[in-house]
Structure 1
Amino acid sequence: MILGGFLFMSVSAGGVFAWIVSKLFQQTTQGLSLLCGGFLVGLLALDIIPSAIHMYQTFSIILGALMGYLLFQVLRNVSHPTTAKTPSLFLLTIALLLHTIPLSMTIGNALGDSTFGIAITTSTILHHLPEGFALTTAMLSQGKKLWGLLLVFISLSMCFSLFIWIGHYVNLTDLAQGNLLGISISLIAATSISEFILHNRRAVPIGSFLTFILMGYLLSWLFHHLV
């Protein structure tokens, strides 16, 4: 539960930073969507994908990515008949929930190590700052009330704490963890490109389109080097 609280603090701090950045754009819907898309692409390219490849077999990640893409298509087809905006936040939340599972299971397995506490606590606080930024930017870009974000952050923290507890008693195979990360990677990639970037490609001039995406990518680069 303590580490779950640290995760909540981390994503909340990222959310506060996203709120500050949104004020620079005066909460322009298309601009924030493109910024979020560029940020997510950078998060994948600079952090999530290299870490996944380093930790797990490429086959398990690719297999998970294929499953994730199929899941994306199913969920998008189910969700889009009712609204064109809801799926992006919904799918992004699912992707980030899945992304927390391998990390939390690993933490659970290592809880008996007395040297583990400080290092993993610091890592947990810093690692989830970008996720809080991405979720907050996504919600602001869709004009949703920020109180709903509190529920998302609490859900992430509860999921994190639950799988730390499970990981303390159950060992998840490397194949399964690689699959989960692959699904998460695929969902984040498909959501960022399809829902945040391509969906707004004609909403702003080409110069602004590329600028917003580049700024989002540079922000992810900044997070990557700071944390």
Structure 2
Amino acid sequence: MILGGFLFISVSVGGIFAWIVSKLFQQTTQGLSLLCGGFLVGLLALDIIPSALQIYQTSGILLGALIGYLLFQLLHQLAYLTTAHAPSLYLLTIALLLHTIPLSMTLGNTLDNSSFGVSITASTILHHLPEGFALTTALLSQGKQLWGLLLVFITLSVCFTLFIWLGHSINLTNQAQSILLGISICLLAVTSLFEFIFQHRRALPLVSFSTYILMGYLLSTLFHILV
């Protein structure tokens, strides 16, 4: 529960930073959406994909990516049938939740190793700062109220705690973790490209369109350097 509380603080700090950035952009919905898309692309390119390829099995990641794409198509259709809002926030939440599972399971497996456990716990908690930023930016880009983030952040924290406990109790194979991470990577990639970027390619001039994406990528680079 303590670790879940730290994660909640981490994503909340990321969310506060996103709110500050949104004020600088005067909450322009297209701009915030492109900013979020560029940020997610940077998060994938600089952090998530290199780490995944280094630690997990490539075959499992590719299989997970295929499953993730099929899942995206299904959720995409269901979300548009059941709500008038774009499904971006729901898809992003699912992707980040799946991304949390192998990380928290790994953390649970290392709890008995005090020195390594402290190190990986600190890095995992800090790793969720950009996730809080991405979720908050996605919500603001759709013009929704910030109170809804509280439920999302609590859900992530509870799931993080639950899968740490499961990781400490059972041993999830590397192949299974690789598949989960592949699903997460694919959902993050297609959501950032199709929901946050391509959807607005004609809404703004090319220069503004490119600038927002580049600024999001640079913000992701800043997070990568700091955490």
What is the correspondence of 1:21-100 to structure 2 with a 5 Å cutoff? Answer: 21-83=21-83, 85-100=85-100
What is the correspondence of 1:110-129 to structure 2 with a 5 Å cutoff? Answer: 110-129=110-129
Distance 2:177 2:164 in 1: 14
Distance 1:69 1:116 in 2: 34
**Most deviating of 118-127 and 54-63:** 118-127
**Do the aligned partners of 2:110 and 2:117 also contact (CA within 8 Å) in 1?**
no
Residue 136 (structure 1) aligns with:
136
Q: CA deviation at 1:121?
A: 3.3
Q: CA deviation at 1:53?
A: 0.2
Distance 1:74 1:84 in 2: 17
Task: In structure 2, give the amino acid aligned to 1:31.
Answer: G
Distance 1:190 1:153 in 2: 22
**Do the aligned partners of 2:107 and 2:117 also contact (CA within 8 Å) in 1?**
no
Residue 107 (structure 1) aligns with:
107
SS at match of 1:164: helix
Give deviations 1:188-207, integer Å, cap 9, x for gaps. Answer: 00000000001111111111
Q: CA deviation at 1:126?
A: 1.3
What is the TM-score when the length of structure 1 is the normalising length? 0.98
Distance 2:55 2:84 in 1: 36
SS at match of 1:26: coil
Q: CA deviation at 1:80?
A: 1.1
> Which runs of 5 or more structure 2 residues have no equivalent in the other structure?
none
Q: CA deviation at 1:84?
A: 5.4
Residue 206 (structure 1) aligns with:
206
SS at match of 2:112: coil
Q: CA deviation at 1:124?
A: 2.6
Q: Percent identity, aligned pairs only?
A: 76
SS at match of 2:115: coil
**Do the aligned partners of 1:3 and 1:124 also contact (CA within 8 Å) in 2?**
no
Residue 151 (structure 1) aligns with:
151
Q: CA deviation at 1:85?
A: 3.1
**Does residue 172 of structure 2 align to residue 172 of structure 1?**
yes
Task: In structure 1, give the amino acid aligned to 2:146.
Answer: L
> Which runs of 5 or more structure 1 residues have no equivalent in the other structure?
none
Q: CA deviation at 1:162?
A: 0.2
Q: CA deviation at 1:117?
A: 4.3
Task: In structure 2, give the amino acid aligned to 1:138.
Answer: A
Distance 2:202 2:68 in 1: 27
**Do the aligned partners of 1:6 and 1:124 also contact (CA within 8 Å) in 2?**
no
Aligned-pair RMSD on alpha carbons?
A: 1.0
